[in-house]
Amino acid sequence: MLIDNLKISIKNIKERKSRVALTLIGIAIGIMAIVALMSIGEGMQSAVTSELSSLSDTIIVTTGNIDINPMGGGFSGGAGRYFTQRDLDDINRIGGLESVNPIIFSYAYIEYNGEYQGVSLLGMEPESMSNIFGIDFLGLESGEFMQSGDQNKCIVGHNVAKEYFDTEIKVGNKIKLNGYNFFVNGIYKKQGAGFSTETDDYIHLSVRDFKKVTGQENISGILIRVSDVSQVEPIATEIEFAINENHGSDDFANVITMSSILESIQSVLSIISIFLVGIAAIALVVASIGIMNTMLTSVMERTHEIGVMKAIGARNFDVMIIFITEGILISIIGGGVGTVLGILGGQAFSVVSSSTAGPGIPIQPSVTIFTIILALGVALLVGIISSLYPARKAAKMSPIEAVRYE
């Protein structure tokens, strides 16, 4: 019986190729949108997660209110508030820490080839520098990070190297910072959006050199790495409490962990995904109305046939199943086509976005088996729901009226 239904449905669909094709396009577009958007969403999530999880043992402490971006504006923010040696001591007393690295921030004059420019300086231990800024999508364009204990060496941000002076700064060049000689050990890659603010227009030095050059040691941020990743959150809370107590304020310190950043990024991404999939769902509703319309027309056209089937003994249920099978067939084919198009669409998006938006976090759309099952499941559901009414209408026809209908 099932095979017969399928046969009848396939034959009927073949009879009305162009109309079915149009209906099919509708459902395919809806499913395509869902698959593409879900795969891009998944891709964004996993890109962000994989990029940031290398920093999962890291806690960043800054002063004042900053935005979500871990480094953008972070260390330079918190106007006029600095951490004290006492804060560092208190943090050092907390157990389970791998390292505690103060980050200091200031400005200096840079002299290169006889030209002078103002530049932002960031002081940090070389080891943490390579840990934080050495990750995949940051990293160096040329040269290498400094070794611990290196002196008079610096890493130059991309913009500083390429745009500040008439002649480009290259690895191995000499520059002067507030009159002190420095050897250019490495040049950062261009970051574009995201982490840009802490590298593109910066020169990174060791803490010791920073103090020498600026005479300052105001700590704008502290970078802490823990030995046990699972302890990140409790330690972060402890640090926040200790520093806030030192300064007698509830919000002096901003303690950021990668997992908290991940969470907020992911929650934003989820909202975006839900919104986009919601739009796709509207497309699907329209498509399902299309199927319903096609099926209703088909029922009208085949009134006579329905009557004949009933006259030769089809039950209402048999007639209903024939039409529902047809609706499901259309929607499943549409769903299959849409899924393939959605996968291709997601890939196309990643190619286009990476070529127009420039380097950043590369998004590789990921199509999970869940996405495919969901897409086909939704297609199936749409097929059933939208053919239910036409099928019922067909089933309820009086055989005698239907046979008479020409």
Partner 1 sequence: MNEDNFVIVAENINKTYGKGNSIVNALRDVNIEIKKGDYITIIGPSGSGKSTFMNIIGCLDKPTSGSLFIDSVDVSTLSDNRLAKIRREKIGFIFQKYNLLPTLTALENVSLSMSFAGVDYTTRMKKSQMLLDKVGLSHRLTHKPSEMSGGEQQRVAIARALSNNPSIILADEPTGNVDSKSGNKIMDILEEINNQGETVIVVTHDPNVAKRGKWTIRIHDGMVSPYAD
CB of 201 within 8 A of CB of 77? Answer: no
Residue 8 vs 242, nearer CB to partner 1 = 8
Q: Kindly tell me which residue out of 316, 347, 364, 366 binds partner 1, with binding defined by CB under 8 A.
A: 316
Is 312 a binder of partner 1 (CB under 8 A)? yes
Q: Please say whether the beta carbons of 268 and 41 come within 8 A.
A: no
Separation between Cα atoms, residue 216 and residue 210, nearest integer Å = 8
Contact status: 1 vs partner 1 (CB under 8 A): yes
The token pair at 343 is 């996968």
**279, 376 Cβ separation under 8 angstroms:** no
Tell me the closest approach of the beta carbon of residue 15 to partner 1, in angstroms.
6
Contacts 24+ apart (CB under 8 A), 20-23: 20/294, 20/330, 22/290, 22/294, 23/287, 23/290, 23/291, 23/293, 23/294, 23/330, 23/334
Residue 12 makes contact with partner 1 by CB under 8 A = yes
Name the one range near partner 1 by CB under 8 A: 2-10, 45-53, 156-164, 252-260: 2-10
Instruction: Measure the CA–CA gap between 290 and 328, rounded to whole angstroms.
Output: 13
The one segment of 38-46, 246-254, 316-324, 380-388 that binds partner 1 by CB under 8 A: 316-324
186 closest CA partner among 227, 217, 155: 155
**Is 403 among the residues that bind partner 1 (CB under 8 A)?**
yes
Beta-bridge partner residues of 105: 122
Applying CB under 8 A, which of residues 193, 274, 311, 352 lies at the interface with partner 1? 311
Q: Find the binder of partner 1 among 59, 258, 314, 341 (CB under 8 A).
A: 314
By CB under 8 A, name the one of 64, 318, 360, 405 that touches partner 1: 318
Residues facing residue 253 across a β-bridge: 63
From 120-128, 175-183, 384-392, 397-405, span contacting partner 1 (CB under 8 A): 397-405
Q: Which is nearer to partner 1, 14 or 80 (CB)?
A: 14
Under rule CB under 8 A, residue 393 binds partner 1: no
Q: Report if residue 17 touches partner 1, rule: CB under 8 A.
A: no
Task: Tell me the C-alpha distance between 261 and 225, whole Å.
Answer: 16
Binding site for partner 1 (CB under 8 A): 1, 3-4, 7-8, 11-12, 14-15, 304-305, 307-318, 399-400, 403
